[in-house]
Structure 1
């Protein structure tokens, strides 16, 4: 399944959607976009903010930090693109889950095919937010690296970036949990490590946000 059927306004990807069109779809009574796409786009926004602050940290006085800044820009741009693609992947995964549940089950063979399709779709639907968590984790790490050397005139955007990443992580935890909860015993074991890291990522994001607030509050 592609995400095309879940988006209106003549676009097939969130990358091509207007903000207004996306929000209209989000508010509509349609299967997707939903919380999964929101989480991915939170991560994308966080990465974009990190890249923006880094690009503002390319003044003459920042020359000594230029290699680090260039690394952060490249990594943040890549994270933004990855997160944006995951918003489409989430919509496609949600659509696939719905399609799997609609498969016929009139006999044993059909029921077996349907059950296998549901399991595969649920696993994919949980893997997408797990990847969002990984991207958001990278955003927090990049923000932490940037904070000590970033242009102080835009330091609040580093705080906004980690707030976005934090929201991406906690929302993704919900989306992983609901899909894993529908799997049979043991089928969702692969998600235990990423779920176990959520609180640590949140704590790191909160620490960066606190540093930013302290710098702004004086």
Structure 2
């Protein structure tokens, strides 16, 4: 499992000539890093100096920790889901019945594989929202990490979107494609806009 292996071992598997892990897992780890950075900034925004923000900071810390765990779960889920797609393509198709069954299995696996990046885009948006909430109260000594968190979440969302698209292209049923696309259409653009806005605000605050 990605969530329990070393960074070096994960990167070695990512670099290997093998189908999993791939871009989907990498996207989930972008989100995990974004959430972790939000949590880190929140933990530096504590003590008497930040007492008036204690409730906000505590809530953001708990949420960011939860999102980090969820992102790691999605990294493992993405690897598992794509393996399901690979396995479905290996099914026999020697008879008309087997060919029909194989097509159904492939479509089902592709639909399932598209669910993880869809969840990831939503999670990335929530991470950017947390970072945005924290911005005004954040310890100025680590304010650059608020932008880093937003940038990591943006990468998660845009990478997840392309993974959804490649799965949708392979699905033959038009109604299924339309339904799946409708779950996330426009969401990654909102994440990108929010992340870009927050990064700009951080730079302006640093350079003011």
Give the corresponding residue for 2:175.
186
The number of equivalent residue pairs is 206
Q: Which sections of structure 1, spanning at least 5 residues, go unmatched?
A: 1-12
Corresponding position: 1:208 with 2:162: no
Larger deviation: 106-115 or 170-179? 106-115
Quote the residue 1:125 is aligned against: 113
Unmatched 5+ stretches in structure 2: none
1:16-68 CA-partner distances (Å, limit 9, x unpaired): 11111111111110111110000000000000000010011112111111111
Matches within 5 A, 1:34-183: 34-183=22-171
Instruction: Give 1:89 shift.
Output: 0.5
Q: How far apart are residue 107 of structure 1 and its match? A: 1.3
TM-score by length of 2: 0.96
Higher helix fraction (1 or 2) = 2
Please state how far the C-alpha of 1:106 moved relative to its aligned partner: 1.2
* Matched residue, 2:11: 23
Q: How many Å apart are 1:215 and its aligned residue?
A: 1.2
Q: Give, in whole Å, the separation in 2 of the partners of 1:217 and 1:111.
A: 62
Output the aligned Cα RMSD. 0.9
Q: How far apart in 2 are the matches of 1:123 and 1:193? A: 12
Q: Which moved more, 1:54-63 or 1:38-47?
A: 54-63
Show structure 1 runs of 4+ deviating over 4 A: none
- Work out whether residues 130 and 191 of structure 1, in 8 Å CA contact, stay in contact via their aligned partners in 2: no
Per-residue displacement from partner, 1:69-121 (whole Å, max 9, x unpaired)? Answer: 11101110110000001000111111100100110111122112111111111
Secondary structure of the residue that 1:186 maps to in structure 2? helix
2:101 partner SS: helix
Does the 8 Å CA contact 1:123/1:179 hold for their aligned counterparts? yes
